[in-house]
Amino acid sequence: MIAFFDDAGFILGGWIITFGAVAGVAWRLVRQGRTLGKSVPDDDKYWT
Cα distances (angstroms) measured from residue 1 to each of 27, 41, 43, 47: 35, 57, 58, 50
Binding string, residues 2-21; x marks residues near another protein by CB under 8 A? -xx--xx-xx-xxx-xxx-x
In this structure, what DSSP letter does residue 40 have? S
Question: Long-range CB contacts (< 8 A, 24+ apart) of 29-37?
Answer: none
Among residue numbers 28 through 47, which ones bind another protein (CB under 8 A)?
29-30, 32-34, 36-40, 42, 44-47
Give the binding site for another protein (CB under 8 A).
Answer: 3-4, 7-8, 10-11, 13-15, 17-19, 21-22, 25-26, 29-30, 32-34, 36-40, 42, 44-48
